[in-house]
Chains A and B, each alone.
Chain A
Amino acid sequence: MPIVVVILGVIIIIMGVAFFLIPRPADEAALPPPVATEENNRTETMEIAEEQTVETEPLPSITPGTITLQENVTYLTPARTEHQLAVTMTVDNNNIVTDVNVVYDETNGFSNGHQERFDGLYKAEVIGKPLSEISLSRVGGASLTTDAFNEAVRNMLEPQVN
């Protein structure tokens, strides 16, 4: 009988040690809060339009998975209003942009309705591939002109050149 008591006591002690040593979900929740970053400062009212800066040249060699490009960009709308953008881009191992963050006009708000419409995120790879790799059936653009139009333009230009 004493032996049984001793054994039970050892078991209880072991369970108690285990109880205190094995992390519980509550412990994980007690981890320090994330450091505030520009990404984490987004709020419900701060709807940011994602914009991609289109590169037609290969991106420089960079460390993957890090924010490597930070640019201030001026863009014009077709209505010729001018706006400032601060763009940060994250690039992966293959020099593909995987994340883009844009702040308009150095404020948390928006300077015109054109920007206010961009709720949600628009993220896309920046691609600068030549069309020769793509079937022309998949190319979307302003009307491709036929040879007739191009020839007419050439014929018109020739007297001016001469």
Chain B
Amino acid sequence: MSIVLPPLSALGTVWYVELFDSLNQEKADETSGLVRLFLTDFEEKYSRFKPHSLISTLNNTGALINPDQTTIALLTLAQKFYRDTGGIFNPLIGEHLLARGYDTNYSFTPKTEPSDFPSPLTALSISRESIKLTAGQIDLGGYGKGWLIDQLSLFLRDRGFQYFLINGGGDMYATSNYDEPIPIYLEHPTLPNTYIAETTLKNQGFAASSTEKRRWQVAGKKYSHIVDTTNPTKNSSDLNNDTFGIYVKAPLAVTADAWSTTLLISKPETHQALLTQEQVTHATFNVQSGTLISSPNF
């Protein structure tokens, strides 16, 4: 038996925490409150939609003085993913999202998008004394939720929980159900209330990406929160002629999160050596053909 805490809203999506450890209702209620505070604190601190967050400060002023270790680690990880993916993953897509109207107010009023993507290796300098941003705008959407899921898992472990599953808007981390793998279900990218396959997680993170979610249309032109960093001039409606869902597993949720977006844009075989090294497995679902292709051990 497990307890699923009441759903929470954070980072623009719905969060679930399922606890398999034995606990009473009082403990469950207390934990739910602590989880809510944890998520809220992260959002206040790092969401670009919050005007006084650290990310907004960095985007607006170009600098953070005496940054804390968490912020340093968070942004350093973005640089790592940029290197690992050959530049496909890029946290400096904030300007492009803003230009598409994906802003604090969800205005969806498009403007001209920048034609290039600054490199976080050169435009973002990180040290214990300061973090400086000299070009572009940071958006943590490509991996921030995965990062938060991993942080929350550490938070739960510190409070004595061993067996749990965290679901942040469809991205997850799960330990186990008393050492048994936990079944999860891959959502169909387009059909509501339908899943296409069952798989399991055991001490793994999971993330999914799709060309279908979070998209909108203005004046006959389609937009998405997915930014194709391989082609600055490509409209999001050109991302694919078919609709795809990408599902990724990795030892950490943040790793799965970063790769789920990357693999929606670029071919998996391009990164195969690194994916194998980092124990990242994946599956691709083509909605039009109804086929699901998965890497070994997904």
- Indicate if the CB atoms of B291 and A75 lie closer than 8 Å: yes
**Chain A residues whose C-beta falls within 8 Å of the C-beta of B210 in the assembled complex:** 141-142
- Indicate if the CB atoms of B171 and A143 lie closer than 8 Å: yes
The answer, yes or no, to whether A9 is at the interface (CB within 8 Å) is no
Residue from A117, A126, A156, A157 within 8 A of B296 (CB atoms) = A117
**Chain B residues whose C-beta falls within 8 Å of the C-beta of A73 in the assembled complex:** 289, 291
| 9-residue interface stretch from B38-46, B64-72, B195-203 | B195-203
CA distance A137 to B174 in the complex (A): 11
Chain A residues 132 to 158 lying within 8 A of chain B, measured CB to CB, are 132, 134-146, 148-149, 152-153, 156-157
Tell me the minimal C-beta distance from A55 to chain B in angstroms: 7
The answer, yes or no, to whether B184 is at the interface (CB within 8 Å) is yes
Question: What size tier do the contact residues of chain B reach?
Answer: 35 or more
CA distance A85 to B214 in the complex (A): 32
Q: Which residue of A lies closest to B288 (CB)?
A: A76
Per-residue interface assignment for chain A, residues 99 to 136, with 1 indicating a CB less than 8 Å from any chain B CB and 0 otherwise = 00000000000001110011110101111111110111
CA distance A64 to B268 in the complex (A): 37
The answer, yes or no, to whether B4 is at the interface (CB within 8 Å) is yes
Chain B residues 85 to 118 lying within 8 A of chain A, measured CB to CB, are 105-106, 108
- Indicate if the CB atoms of A140 and B185 lie closer than 8 Å: yes
Per-residue interface assignment for chain B, residues 1 to 44, with 1 indicating a CB less than 8 Å from any chain A CB and 0 otherwise = 00010010100111011100000000000000000000000000
**Chain A residues whose C-beta falls within 8 Å of the C-beta of B80 in the assembled complex:** none
Size of the A side of the interface (Cβ < 8 Å), in residues, is: 53
**Chain B residues whose C-beta falls within 8 Å of the C-beta of A153 in the assembled complex:** 106, 108, 216
CA distance A157 to B252 in the complex (A): 38
Residue from B13, B189, B266, B269 within 8 A of A112 (CB atoms) = B269
Given contacts A142-B189, A143-B171, A143-B214, contact A76 B289 (CB under 8 A): yes
**Chain A residues whose C-beta falls within 8 Å of the C-beta of B212 in the assembled complex:** 142
- Indicate if the CB atoms of B193 and A132 lie closer than 8 Å: yes
Identify the A interface with B (CB < 8 A). Answer: 49, 51-56, 73-80, 85, 112-114, 117-120, 122, 124-132, 134-146, 148-149, 152-153, 156-157, 160
